[in-house]
Structure 1
Amino acid sequence: MDEPIHTCKATPADAGIINRIIERSIRVGCALDHRNQPQVVATWTQNQTHENIQLWLSDQQLYLNLALLHDKPVGVAMASNQGQVAFCYVMPEWFRRGVGQALVRDLEGWLINQGLRQSRLNSTRTGEAFYRRLGYQPQAEPLTVAGLPVIPMHKALSKV
């Protein structure tokens, strides 16, 4: 039986591991999106710095969570109190094991507790099927963000 995935609110002490998870997930796990083009990777990762992560962690309008497996951080996600899921990154060796789903479900619970009824995000092509499985639907034509084509998606949130 698989070990349960635990999610928790990230703390300032987690900034270093958050940075490493994001960097590895983008560079290795998202290669189909950026096609190992150095300029696209640089644009995508430029604001994912330790300093910015510290700022995000101190911002009361944002919620960053970690996914832990065997007490080891394996994923991170972030949402704003305006209903925008900013990102969901998982260490590539933990893809397709429920880590991303646990992270997004935790974010959605936080958004519901903020009184929101809808969640929005911009998905890469690689992430689109993942978000569709979680109930997100495209809401507009694809656009380009940080040199990458993304699909604006949304989902109605409800208490379960």
Structure 2
Amino acid sequence: MEIRDARREDAEEACRVLRRSIVELCAADHRHDPGLLAAWLSNKTPQTVAAWMSRPDASYLVAVDEGAIAAIGAVTDAGEILLNYVSPDARFRGASRVLLAALESRAAERGATRCTLISTETARRFYRARGYEEVGPPVRKFGMDSGYPMSKPLGLTATLPVPSGGV
């Protein structure tokens, strides 16, 4: 699996991954409600995804497996994870895990000391298993009450206590 920066020409395939992930994998969130799905998918167009990719304060990354985009993610320079969606074809093959690690590394490279995100119900356990903690009550997003604010410190200095008495 290769992780690389997303390119403008990836927008159409990345958009398909986003839409399929939402429709096929996030039923715990949208409950197959046509109105909720329509709201969630409304801004997931190739044109919108291409515009997102040109955002100067964020990095859009893709996980590519056997020539196809397996997952797409985005993180701001401040450490806010905006996207982390996996293709149903790549689920449970490590794409989300590897992509999340790359997003966290990119945020740290850009000076962030913590990553924050709003998790879906579907991904909540995934993020908890990777050190994220819930930091507030659920928030409403796209008409659903299943957005969970989460946070994780980045780097060794943020997770290990400094020994007293010097090193």
Question: Do both share a fold (TM > 0.5)?
Answer: yes
Deviation for aligned residue 1:159: 5.8
Q: Residue in 1 aligned with 2:114? A: 118
Please, which runs of 5 or more residues in structure 1 have no aligned partner? none
Contact kept in structure 2, 1:112 and 1:159, CA below 8 Å:
no
Listed one character per residue, the Cα deviations across residues 28-87 of structure 1 (whole Å, up to 9, x for unaligned) are 011121011111011111111111111111111111111111222111011111211011
Q: Residue in 2 aligned with 1:9? A: 5
Q: Residue in 2 aligned with 1:153? A: 150
Q: Distance in 2 between matches of 1:154 and 1:61?
A: 19
Listed one character per residue, the Cα deviations across residues 75-108 of structure 1 (whole Å, up to 9, x for unaligned) are 1011111211011111112212211011111111
RMSD over equivalenced CA pairs, Å: 1.3
Please, which runs of 5 or more residues in structure 2 have no aligned partner? 158-167
Q: 2:100 aligns with which of 81, 95, 104?
A: 104
Q: Distance in 1 between matches of 2:54 and 2:117?
A: 22
Contact kept in structure 1, 2:79 and 2:108, CA below 8 Å:
no
Q: Distance in 1 between matches of 2:130 and 2:87?
A: 19
Q: Residue in 2 aligned with 1:67? A: 63
Q: Distance in 1 between matches of 2:12 and 2:125?
A: 29
Contact kept in structure 1, 2:113 and 2:153, CA below 8 Å:
yes
SS at match of 2:39: helix
**TM-score, scaled relative to structure 1:** 0.93
Larger radius of gyration: 2
Q: Distance in 1 between matches of 2:104 and 2:78?
A: 12
Q: Distance in 1 between matches of 2:58 and 2:139?
A: 24
Q: Distance in 2 between matches of 1:107 and 1:40?
A: 28
Contact kept in structure 2, 1:75 and 1:89, CA below 8 Å:
yes
Identical-residue share of aligned pairs (%): 29
Deviation for aligned residue 1:142: 1.1
